[in-house]
Structure 1
Amino acid sequence: MLEQLFIFTRGGLILWTCKELGNALKGSPIDILIRYCLLEERSGSTSYNYDVPGAAYTLKWTFHNELGLVFVAVYQRILHLLYVDDLLMMVKKEFSKIYDPKRTLYNDFDDIFQQLKKEAEARVEEMKKSKQAGKPMKNTLAKKQGQVQRGMFDGGNKKSESGDDGGEDKVKNRSLENGDSNCRFGNESLPAEGADKGKENVNSKTGAFDVNKLQKLRSKAGKKTDTVVKKGSKAEPKKIMKKNRVWDDSPAKAKLDFTDHVTEDEVQNVAAVAVDQGESMMDKEEIINDSESEEDDEEPENDNKVDTKKKWWFSSMFQSIAGKANLEKADLELPLKSLKDMLMTKNVAEEIAEKLCESVAASLEGKKQASFTRISSIVKAAMEEALVRILTPKRSIDILRDVHAAKEQGKPYVVVFVGVNGVGKSTNLAKVAYWLQQHKINVMMAACDTFRSGAVEQLRTHARRLQIPIFEKGYEKDPAIVAKEAIQEASRNGSDVVLVDTAGRMQDNEPLMRALSKLIYVNSPDLVLFVGEALVGNDAVDQLSKFNQKLGDLSPSPNPRLIDGILLTKFDTIDDKVGAALSMVYISGAPVMFVGCGQSYTDLKKLNVKSIVKTLLK
């Protein structure tokens, strides 16, 4: 049974719901659909499953892009209603006839909807009856065909057993036994006896298979090749040897090794060096030069079908001048394929690039094309809007504001850094600590990486250089207990923020993921930051999705804590391959809060959404 059907505008104004259905939905499936499907550019999917305690719904939708309307049907997932897709298309067609942008009430649509619902249900019933009626007919037809085949096979056997068969029948039987189904049985395919004898005589006279002659030919060929190799070896030029490079023996002027141990007497000097590094890049606004001339839209390439490309180009040019009533799916295929390839070259995961193109196609299909506008320009503009919508944070996370709010409540603000091995968690934790220090915030580090050798010493070095207190308990300790004691110590000494460093772990390592889930459950941090590399492509999807999945599955809480934000490292090494940022945000819904772009403490900045989108579509 259909639970409810909604018609609303893209701005969120509900125009009509079925009063006769009147079923009260549990939870808020429409709000979740808008938040996680329509705003996150997942509208290219066919359906969405929504689970709440005591109910499980399936939501299906369609758009009328020209009018800016959304049609959503909600029903119990266990029912598997077959008429919903057909009903949505019928409702879309009929409602568009009476739609008026100035109207907000459509009570007269109730009777039309009931009639459409009955028609859709009747079509499904007829389809079921026709399928059931067609099954026995297929079975009887198959039986008849089997009987005919068996009769033909038996007839052939009887004919061969009777003994009344000529030479042609023997050839047929031999050919069927050998499995040759393409041989012909006419007189042309059977050579005459005289011709066979003639061929045998010719072969015997000429000696086509004389072994002695064949061995002589082989021996002559071997001698020729030997002589060629010997002559070629004498004529080979001498190899030019590369001259050895002479390096300067003078000693290096500057010392390059900065890993010497810092003694307690040198702490003041080290702290002074850290302070003199300057202002963190987090507080500097990145300026984008919009006056640069952008490249013209290129026509989509299709190496295998050059003619199709030319036809598409001429048709698009004609449509750009004359305009088109409504854009169809076929009109969008080639421009979207070009955009998909462009996104993949910028390190966007293939699965995400494909879903984005499907979502853009769903938002443009049926829209009117204005005159003097190319389809490729329309598609690119829609993709740009979609990318900005995805990368823009859905909720405001202001760490400085939240730190002061926690300070007023008398508790420290706790940030946990998680991620896979070798992405730079400890280094970027120190960059965040330096940025917080510049805003007069008391920071304490917690060395909860009790698994990797040298992790505590590495964090201790950063704390000594920045003159930040560090809480450590050594190795082979429970990281959840260490973090809990560090938070208690921060409350006693008046620290405003506790930055918790954790061990790097792969998303498939269940023991370490269980320990991380326990740490987050026991300490309830204010912010969980996933530290990931900007170099990864498709692996970013796997890392983030499995991290969130493991944190949810292994947590004893009914409402598990997942990743709140992302810190991208090594952003200065990727040039224009910025697609990992899009992949991570799309798969997790968490915003990119920090971007690491160097080795010093000041090399930490915000993600500039406009710059990323411009780079992706360049």
Structure 2
Amino acid sequence: MLEQLLIFTRGGLILWTYKELGNALRGSPIDTLIRSCLLEERSGAASYNYDVPGAAYTLKWTFHNDLGLVFVAVYQKILHLLYVDELLSMVKREFSEIYDPKRTVYNEFDNVFQQLRKEAEARAEEMKKSKQVSKPVNNNLGKKQGQVQKGIIMNGGNQKKSGAESGKDGGDGDKVKSRALENGHSNGSNGNGVVVQANGKENRSSSGSGAFDVNKLQKLRSKGGKKTDTTVVKESKAEPTKKIKKNRVWDDKPKESKLDFTDPISENGNENIAVVAAVQGESMMDKEEILSSDSETEEDEEEPGKDSKVEAKKKGWFSSMFQSIAGKANLEKADLEPALKALKDRLMTKNVAEEIAEKLCESVAASLEGKKLGSFTRISSTVQTAMEEALVRILTPKRSIDIMRDVHAAKEQGKPYVVVFVGVNGVGKSTNLAKVAYWLQQHKVNVMMAACDTFRSGAVEQLRTHARRLQIPIFEKGYEKDPAIVAKEAIQEANRNGSDVVLVDTAGRMQDNEPLMRALSKLIYVNSPDLILFVGEALVGNDAVDQLSKFNQKLGDLSPSPNPRLIDGILLTKFDTIDDKVGAALSMVYISGAPVMFVGCGQSYTDLKKLNTKSIVKTLLK
């Protein structure tokens, strides 16, 4: 049963709605579809499933890109309605004929829709009946064939032809006999219990008849064909030439610069907690620029017609110019495929996951298909512009990520702002936690660290070193403790000493390590942090999709709460080592929907930046 069909513009204006009488939708499936699918450039998908307690819906949609209309159908997920796709295309065709941008009410379309729905349901019912009628015929035919083959196998070895029958059509009889031997259905017996097979070998039968000995055949299969004589020829390998190892020359001269950079300890045993000179400076978080790609951008701006020249050489000057001047009536998928394939390859070379690049191209194709191409406009430039807009929409945060504002709001409520850093092993959680702490210090915020990595050896000492250098209090309980309890006690301590922010360091864990993921889920459930930051490397490509999706999946599956907390934001590390391979940022945001809030770009405490969306998009499309 169709629950609802909605027609609205891309600007959000609802033009016409159909609702099933007496059935009210639970939750907000249309709003969720727009927020989680259409705005996140997932419109190339076939359908979207919306689950709420007590109900589950499937949503399907189509676009009229030339008119800027969206058609969405909602029905119960368990029904699997077959006529929805056809009904949407029929509604799209009929409504586009009466659509007027100046009108907002289309009451006369109710009767038209009822007629279209009856036609679509009747057509689906006929297809269903035709499939049910065709199935028994095929089954009977299969049964007959099976019986015939079974009869041949059962009787093939015991049937004996008479002399007259075997002599009739002499050549044909031999052909039939040889064909039976090749198929293995009938074997001739020589009367001594020896069955002659098509390969010329003999098998001894215990019964003396021409049928196969099943027990013997099973024994041969279990042995794996070890009876077959195989000769193994060993290839002579040339002995590798021995390399002469050079003697190592040791330099006994002492190094001029010292290797120990730890803070000195005074004679009375007290540690010197003064901040070193290298820490002094302003954090890059308060600066706007993030990516050093201005030189490449200027080169592209100097040659705006570079791509058109290359394309003109490939397609021919006259054909490309004629198409750009005359324009095209409506864009088709075949027209978009060459430009989209080139864009997909370009995104993948920039370290975007293949799955994400393919879905992006499908979404762009869905937004351009059927759209009228204007005069003096090339298809490649149209696709490029649409992809650029799609990338900007994905990377732009959908909610406020002003941490300083949230910190002051929590301070007014009399509680500390809690941030939990999670991620896989070796991505730099502790180091970037210290960078965030230094940035908060510059804004006159009281910070406390919580050493909740009680699993890795040396993790507490590492965080203690950062705290000592930054003059920040640290809460620690050593190793082999429950990290959830340690974090809870740290938050209580922050309430007592008046700390504004608690930065919780957790152990690195792989996304498929269930015991550690269960411990992390417990930590989040017990302490209810204000922000969950996933720390990931900018070097990863396809692995970013697997890490983030499984982290969210495990946090949701292992949480005892009916509304589990998932990842709220992303901190990208090692961003200064990737040059123009910035695709990991796009892959992570696309798969999780969480914004990139911090970017680590160096080894000092000041090397923390914001993500420049425009710069990332330009780099991806070069």
Change (3 A) 1:19 1:517: closer
1:587 aligns with 2:585: no
The answer (yes or no) to whether the contact 2:273–2:468 under 8 Å persists in 1 is: no
Larger % of helix: which?
1
The secondary structure found in structure 2 opposite 1:49 is strand
Change (3 A) 1:152 1:549: closer
Structure 1: distance between partners of 2:150 and 2:278: 92
Change (3 A) 1:546 1:151: closer
Partner of 1:18: 18
Structure 1: distance between partners of 2:576 and 2:87: 52
Change (3 A) 1:57 1:251: same
Partner of 1:389: 393
Structure 2: distance between partners of 1:370 and 1:138: 53
Partner of 1:213: none
Change (3 A) 1:596 1:111: same
Structure 2: distance between partners of 1:560 and 1:33: 20
1:596 aligns with 2:600: yes
Q: How many Å apart are 1:251 and its aligned residue?
A: 5.2
Between Structure 1 and Structure 2, whose CA radius of gyration is higher? 1
Structure 2: distance between partners of 1:274 and 1:443: 20
The one-character-per-residue Cα deviations of 1:38-94 (angstroms, maximum 9, x if unpaired) are 000111111111111221111110000000000001111111111111110000000
Structure 1: distance between partners of 2:310 and 2:516: 47
Partner of 1:207: none
Partner of 1:434: 438
Q: How many Å apart are 1:127 and its aligned residue?
A: 1.5
Partner of 1:538: 542
The amino acid across from 1:448 in the alignment is: C
Matches within 5 A, 1:228-307: 252-259=255-262, 268=272, 270-273=274-277, 275-276=279-280, 278-286=281-289, 289=294, 291-294=298-301, 296-297=306-307
1:89 aligns with 2:89: yes
Partner of 1:121: 121
Matches within 5 A, 1:563-578: 563-578=567-582
Matches within 5 A, 1:341-380: 341-380=345-384
The secondary structure found in structure 2 opposite 1:271 is coil
Structure 2: distance between partners of 1:429 and 1:250: 39
Partner of 2:529: 525
Q: How many Å apart are 1:346 and its aligned residue?
A: 1.2
The one-character-per-residue Cα deviations of 1:187-215 (angstroms, maximum 9, x if unpaired) are xxxxxxxxxxxxxxxxxxxxxxxxxxxxx
Matches within 5 A, 1:36-75: 36-75=36-75
The one-character-per-residue Cα deviations of 1:414-457 (angstroms, maximum 9, x if unpaired) are 11111111111100000000001111111111111111111110
The secondary structure found in structure 2 opposite 1:4 is strand
Change (3 A) 1:454 1:262: farther
Structure 1: distance between partners of 2:152 and 2:433: 82
Gaps of 5+ in 2: 184-237
Q: How many Å apart are 1:256 and its aligned residue?
A: 4.4
Q: How many Å apart are 1:129 and its aligned residue?
A: 2.5
Match of 1:404 among 408, 412, 432: 408
The answer (yes or no) to whether the contact 1:420–1:532 under 8 Å persists in 2 is: yes
Structure 2: distance between partners of 1:508 and 1:149: 50
The one-character-per-residue Cα deviations of 1:14-57 (angstroms, maximum 9, x if unpaired) are 00012664742111111000000000011111111111122111
Structure 2: distance between partners of 1:384 and 1:169: 72
The secondary structure found in structure 1 opposite 2:487 is helix
Q: How many Å apart are 1:379 and its aligned residue?
A: 1.0
Change (3 A) 1:177 1:569: same
The answer (yes or no) to whether the contact 2:263–2:273 under 8 Å persists in 1 is: no
Q: How many Å apart are 1:476 and its aligned residue?
A: 1.0
The answer (yes or no) to whether the contact 2:2–2:20 under 8 Å persists in 1 is: no
Matches within 5 A, 1:217-232: none
1:319 aligns with 2:323: yes
1:509 aligns with 2:519: no
The amino acid across from 2:165 in the alignment is: S
Structure 1: distance between partners of 2:359 and 2:163: 63
The amino acid across from 1:609 in the alignment is: T
Structure 1: distance between partners of 2:112 and 2:83: 16
Structure 2: distance between partners of 1:319 and 1:161: 79
The answer (yes or no) to whether the contact 1:274–1:465 under 8 Å persists in 2 is: no
The answer (yes or no) to whether the contact 2:449–2:505 under 8 Å persists in 1 is: yes
1:483 aligns with 2:487: yes
Structure 2: distance between partners of 1:514 and 1:533: 23
Structure 1: distance between partners of 2:608 and 2:616: 16
TM-score w.r.t. the length of structure 1 is 0.82
The answer (yes or no) to whether the contact 1:445–1:500 under 8 Å persists in 2 is: yes
The secondary structure found in structure 2 opposite 1:27 is coil
Match of 1:168 among 158, 168, 171: 171
Q: Alpha carbon RMSD of aligned pairs, Å?
A: 3.4
The amino acid across from 1:569 in the alignment is: T
Structure 1: distance between partners of 2:556 and 2:78: 25
Partner of 2:28: 28
Change (3 A) 1:578 1:47: same
**% identical aligned pairs:** 83
Structure 1: distance between partners of 2:317 and 2:168: 67
Change (3 A) 1:174 1:412: same
Change (3 A) 1:144 1:380: same
The one-character-per-residue Cα deviations of 1:563-614 (angstroms, maximum 9, x if unpaired) are 1101011111111111111111111111000011111000100111111111
Change (3 A) 1:166 1:503: same
Gaps of 5+ in 1: 181-228, 230-238, 302-308
The one-character-per-residue Cα deviations of 1:464-489 (angstroms, maximum 9, x if unpaired) are 11111111111111111111111111
Structure 2: distance between partners of 1:482 and 1:240: 56
Structure 1: distance between partners of 2:40 and 2:163: 73
Q: How many Å apart are 1:167 and its aligned residue?
A: 6.3
The alignment of Structure 1 onto Structure 2 pairs a total of residues equal to 555
The answer (yes or no) to whether the contact 1:297–1:376 under 8 Å persists in 2 is: no
The answer (yes or no) to whether the contact 1:531–1:569 under 8 Å persists in 2 is: yes
The one-character-per-residue Cα deviations of 1:298-356 (angstroms, maximum 9, x if unpaired) are 8999xxxxxxx967998665432321111111111121111111111111111111111
Range moving further from structure 2, 65-74 or 154-163: 154-163
The secondary structure found in structure 1 opposite 2:300 is coil
The answer (yes or no) to whether the contact 1:4–1:21 under 8 Å persists in 2 is: no
Change (3 A) 1:92 1:22: farther
The one-character-per-residue Cα deviations of 1:135-169 (angstroms, maximum 9, x if unpaired) are 45545666788899999999998698613257634
Q: How many Å apart are 1:269 and its aligned residue?
A: 6.7
Partner of 2:100: 100
Partner of 1:217: none
The answer (yes or no) to whether the contact 1:448–1:500 under 8 Å persists in 2 is: yes
Structure 2: distance between partners of 1:78 and 1:313: 55
Structure 1: distance between partners of 2:611 and 2:112: 50
Structure 2: distance between partners of 1:61 and 1:312: 38
Structure 2: distance between partners of 1:268 and 1:260: 6
